[in-house]
Amino acid sequence: MATIKDIAKEANVSISTVSRVLNSDETLTVMEKTRDRILSVANKLNYSSKRRPHTPNNDINENVNIGVVMWCSQEEEYEDSYFLSIRQGIEKQCMELELEIVKTIRVRGGSSNEYSLEELEGLIVVGDVDIVELEKIYKHNQNVVFVNSNPNSENYDSIICDLEECSSKVMEYLFKLGHKKIGFIGGIEYKQRFKDDFELTKVVSNEEIRRKTYETMMKKEGVFNSKDLYVGDWSTLNGYQFMKKAIVKGDMPTAFFVASDPMAIGAIRALHEANIHVPKDVAIVSIDDIEMAEFVSPPLTTFKIYSEQMGRTAVNLLLERIKGREVPLKVEVPTKLIIRESCGGKT
């Protein structure tokens, strides 16, 4: 039976490109003639994503079909490349191990009819997806790995970073630089249930962990002021708009903990427009270390999350599960402070 590897070889493209074309991944930029060639070859080879029987003479990697569930929509992935980096890590590791991603599902904006997972040997879930709803879908399959969430560590593998510890380090660093009046800009994440009439439910998410840590540490220092707290939709635009509000309000904080790099980039743009110098007048520190962080002006101080490695590790754990490991594992990926010019600190 033909595999994605066979299609890639005949179509003269990468395995990853074939996988993404067959999964109708709209984030993939590829020429239409290349897409048509891949589909033509797949049809010629009678490619099917249905489960292939394991045999003793076949290497297990060549007979493994996996699916990926992404919490975020494609638009949200464009907005914040953190989830894009995780997905790319998954794809790169699958390509190197010759595993096939036969189905990519996006929770936001999807339909319950899309969640047929019977042909899959394993599943990687990226983001905070409602475990109650997921269990209805993958109850037939225990080979599940969660990335960036840990909803059921007694039964399933997970890869996380300690955002509470990371947020504490952000605050400790700003306190160390001498700041007391510190603002916060962040977002609210929503979980979406697998229903035909999707219901968005507010939850205590990874993003809110950052805000709660900020509040706790500011209160501990006796300097918390709710007027310096800005939380809403998770986007670069909101980072910009929240900082504009802070500027108009006056009595500006001397520093801001911004919960993600994209929001921080928007905030810095607002400060530039108001002729407020970063970091002389306002220091900025965020979390993620996306590719753009070192190219914004001034370059952004941020705590690096090794998101691509999280995706790669998820594939490794899933393969172990498929090969028979029964004990669930939780892997915690560390974070690292990357000091650049936006905070005024020294490297």
Contact 98, 15 (CB under 8 A): yes
Position 45, amino acid: L
- According to the 3-state scheme, what is the secondary structure of the chain? CCCHHHHHHHHCCCHHHHHHHHCCCCCCCCCHHHHHHHHHHHHHCCCCCCCCCCCCCCCHHHHCEEEEEECCCHHHHHHCHHHHHHHHHHHHHHHHHCCEEEEEEECCCCCHHHCCCCCCCEEEEECCCCHHHHHHHHCCCCCEEEECCCCCCCCCEEEECCHHHHHHHHHHHHHHCCCCCEEEEEECCEEECCCCCCCEEECCCHHHHHHHHHHHHHHHCCCCCHHHEEEECCCHHHHHHHHHHHHHHCCCCCEEEECCHHHHHHHHHHHHHCCCCCCCCCEEEEEECCHHHHCCCCCCEEEEECHHHHHHHHHHHHHHHHCCCCCCCEEECCEEEECCHHHCCCC
Contact 264, 290 (CB under 8 A): no
d(CA 19, CA 87): 13
**Backbone dihedral angles phi then psi of residue 238, each to the nearest 5 degrees:** -70, -35
The topology under which CATH files domain 4-161+307-334 is Rossmann fold (3.40.50)
Give tens-digit pLDDT for 77-110: 777 778 889 999 999 998 888 787 877 878 765 5
pLDDT at 116: 59
Spell out the domain ranges in the chain: 4-161+307-334, 163-305+336-343
Amino acid in position 197: D
Cβ-proximal residues to 253 (8 Å cutoff; 6+ apart), any chain: 179, 181, 182, 183, 228, 246, 282
How far apart, in whole angstroms, are the C-alpha atoms of residue 131 and residue 191?
10
Q: Tell me: the pLDDT tens digits for 23-66?
A: 766 556 678 888 888 888 888 888 865 544 443 334 555 567 78
Count Cβ atoms below 10 Å from residue 57 Cβ, excluding itself.
5
- Is 163-305+336-343 a domain of CATH 3.20.20.140? no
Which residues are within 8 A (CB) of 283 and not within 5 positions of it... i.e. 6 or more apart? 174, 177, 179, 254, 255, 256, 301, 342, 343, 344
Pick from 265, 256, 255, 267: nearest CA to 295 = 265
Which stretches in the chain have pLDDT values below 70?
A: 1, 15-16, 24-29, 48-63, 108-119, 130-141, 189-207, 346-347
Same topology for domains 4-161+307-334 and 163-305+336-343, yes or no?
yes
Q: For residue 54, what pLDDT is reported?
A: 42
The pTM of this model reads 0.74
Integer-rounded Cα radius of gyration of the chain: 22
Closest CA to 130 of 210, 82, 75, 202: 202
Return contacts of 276-279, CB within 8 angstroms, 24+ apart. 276/247, 276/252, 278/342, 279/341, 279/342, 279/343, 279/344
Instruction: State residue 56's pLDDT score.
Output: 39
pLDDT at 118: 64
| Cβ count within 10 A of residue 54 | 14
